């Protein structure tokens, strides 16, 4: 499962808006709001860490599998840049 950071952020704001509406209606106290916001922030933080971890593990896997190709393309890029500068 790939974590979707944009969807997690959207859900966070949706829950936050619902909490604000409940507070405006007087259904929750300020202390409850503080506790729920802290829990929502922790949940978003876990989603963010999972998304970044997934991204970096993908980059690491790509590097391990395609190291020669990446180095070759970078080498060609450097040689092309040098040729354009000297020319």
Q: How many helices (H) and strands (E) would you count in the chain?
A: 2, 0
How confident is the model over 4-38, as pLDDT tens digits? Answer: 889 999 999 999 999 999 999 999 999 999 999 99
Q: 3-class secondary structure for 60-75?
A: HHHHHHHHHHHHHHHH
**Confidence (pTM):** 0.70
Q: What is the pLDDT of residues 45-69, one digit of tens each?
A: 999 999 999 999 999 999 999 999 9
Q: Is the pLDDT of residue 1 over 70?
A: no
Look at residue 82 in the predicted model and tell me its pLDDT: 96
Instruction: Please report the pLDDT score of residue 3 as a whole number.
Output: 73
| Coil/strand/helix, residue 79 | helix
């Amino acid at each position: 499962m790939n974590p979707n950071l944009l969807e997690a952020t959207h859900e966070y704001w949706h829950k936050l808006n619902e909490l604000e509406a409940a507070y405006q209606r007087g259904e929750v106290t300020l202390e409850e709001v503080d506790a729920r916001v802290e829990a929502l922030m922790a949940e978003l933080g876990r989603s963010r860490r999972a998304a970044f971890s997934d991204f970096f593990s993908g980059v690491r896997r790509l590097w391990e599998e395609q190291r020669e190709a990446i180095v070759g393309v970078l080498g060609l890029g450097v040689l092309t840049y040098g040729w354009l500068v000297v020319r």
